[in-house]
């Protein structure tokens, strides 16, 4: 073999070794400070940070009026130097669901972290199954952890999270805006402004907290003002009983309302099925879906024509795609929902949603636009009625450390480390 051949062979092997290194490192062990062997991609620490951020206006729902938004930011640091970011966010403390920002932080610190520290961060499936075996429920917390693991793995492999979830079929998502001031004139003016800015042409109205006839008049007036320039939907957040819902759904459907979200209690699946048969406008299930199994039962019973997909309520981006698969198999339409997350949670949802073959009812990933402040280095890109999803590794986002330090509730850091 000539010297030239040896040189080329050596260079080729060096290039191949460099390319293989991220994958090979996963299977190499090293010893921590106590001398215990660990994988190079082991989870070294998990940090949870509660952040309180101001909003542009009060946001009125049937069960709660938001004056600000609280996020739980999750940082998972790995032995190979990669850090994954996640977010767990709910609405109004315990007003919406079974988890609050405080319980999310406490449970991750005390129960999730001991199960995950030292585990292989690159094997997301094994890590999440480990949590599932020991922790019931807590889907909001699980979603934030899974997001952080996906972000770290995407950075490790140089791939966007969407490619880890099967591959994107689009680069942007149409986004609805929620009109929730409760004042008809203000809501119309706000909708007109959004149309002029080319930011939104889908509007969802939060109703149910007021008297039903007043709410119906409010919605119909807004639809008449916007006409065919925009799609108008309503979200009742379970506020009506079945008798009221039957009459209200007929009135809304006959006045051009495109979609009616969760008109009655999540526990009344038989009532949802009856409404779904009788309403001229499609019925969408939201609160009725608190896990993947709920989606299966709703599909089996014909209780909704559309499913709202929320990563937080399913347990993460991978889990929400299982709910989507059930819906697609049953011929149920899909809508990309939100828990009014900040940028990290919103982008985690977006990476999942852009892998779906059909998203007939678009999305409502407007959470960051409701905030006057955020903790990201760069804002998300909303343009021409759509949210644009980056193709950079991981979620494609980073934190602004100074802003994070300013808005964090607890100014001292609490990090759970591998011992």
Q: Which residues are catalytic?
A: 206, 364
Q: Find the Cα–Cα–Cα–Cα dihedral 217, 219, 225, 229, rounded to 10°.
A: -150
Report the distance separating Cα 244 and Cα 208, nearest Å.
11
Using DSSP, state whether 51 is helix, strand or coil. Answer: strand
Burial of 153 (0-12, 13-18, 19+ CB in 10 A): buried
How many residues are given for the chain? 419
What are the start-end ranges of the E strands in 79-133?
Answer: 83-89
- Encode 195-253 in three state secondary structure: HHCCCCCEEEEECCCCCHHHHHHHHHHHHHHHHHHCEEEEECCCCCCHHHHHHHHHHHH
Gap between the Cα atoms of 355 and 393, Å rounded:
16
Query: What's the CA gap between 292 and 79, in Å, rounded?
Result: 32
Q: What angle do CA 112, 341, 82 make, to 5 degrees?
A: 50
- What is the Cα–Cα distance from 317 to 349, expressed in whole angstroms? 6
CB 45, CB 190: distance < 8 Å = no
Picking from 310, 252, 312, the residue whose alpha carbon sits closest to that of residue 282 is 252
Helix axes 242-254 and 269-278, enclosed angle (nearest 10) = 30
d(CA 85, CA 389): 16
Comparing C-alpha atoms, which of 348, 401, 293 is closest to residue 146?
Answer: 348
Q: What is the DSSP letter of 245?
A: H
Which residues make Cβ contacts (< 8 Å) with residue 249, sequence separation at least 6?
260, 263, 275, 278, 279, 280, 281, 283
Query: Tokens 């409760």 label which residue?
Result: 182
């Amino acid at each position: 073999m000539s010297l030239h051949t040896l040189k080329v062979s050596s260079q080729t092997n060096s290039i191949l070794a460099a390319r293989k290194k991220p994958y090979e490192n996963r299977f190499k062990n090293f010893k921590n400070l106590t001398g215990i062997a660990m994988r190079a991609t082991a989870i070294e620490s998990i940090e949870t940070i509660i952040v309180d951020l101001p909003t542009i206006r009060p946001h009125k729902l049937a069960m709660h009026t938001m004056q600000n938004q609280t996020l739980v930011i999750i940082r998972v640091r790995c032995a190979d130097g990669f850090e994954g970011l996640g977010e767990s966010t709910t609405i109004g403390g315990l007003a919406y669901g079974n988890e609050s920002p405080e319980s999310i932080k406490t449970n991750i610190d005390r129960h999730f972290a001991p199960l995950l520290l030292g585990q292989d961060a690159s094997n997301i499936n094994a890590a999440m199954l480990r949590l599932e075996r020991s922790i019931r429920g807590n889907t909001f917390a699980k979603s934030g952890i899974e997001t952080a693991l996906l972000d770290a793995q995407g950075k490790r492999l140089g791939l966007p999270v969407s490619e880890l979830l099967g591959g994107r079929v689009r680069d942007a998502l149409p986004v609805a805006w929620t009109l929730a001031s409760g004042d008809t004139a203000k809501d119309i003016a706000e909708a007109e402004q959004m149309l002029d800015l080319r930011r939104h042409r889908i509007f969802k109205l939060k109703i149910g907290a007021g008297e039903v006839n007043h709410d119906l008049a409010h919605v119909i007036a807004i639809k008449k003002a916007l006409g065919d320039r925009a799609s108008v939907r309503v979200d009742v957040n379970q506020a009506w009983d079945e008798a009221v819902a039957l009459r209200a759904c007929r009135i809304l459907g006959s006045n051009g309302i495109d979609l009616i979200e969760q008109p009655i209690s999540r526990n009344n699946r038989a009532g949802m099925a009856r409404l779904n048969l009788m309403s001229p406008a499609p019925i969408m299930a939201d609160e009725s879906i608190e896990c993947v199994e709920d989606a299966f039962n709703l599909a089996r019973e014909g209780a909704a024509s559309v499913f709202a997909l929320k990563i937080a309520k399913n347990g993460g981006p991978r889990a929400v795609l299982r709910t989507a698969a059930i819906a697609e198999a049953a011929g149920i339409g899909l809508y990309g929902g939100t828990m009014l997350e900040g940028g990290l949670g919103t982008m985690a949802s977006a990476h999942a949603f852009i892998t779906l073959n059909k998203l007939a009812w678009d999305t409502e990933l407007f959470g960051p636009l409701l905030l006057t402040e955020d903790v990201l280095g760069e804002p998300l890109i909303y343009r021409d009625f759509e949210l644009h999803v980056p193709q950079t590794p991981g979620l494609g986002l980073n934190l602004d450390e100074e802003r994070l330090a300013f808005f964090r509730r607890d100014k001292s850091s609490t990090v759970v480390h591998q011992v």
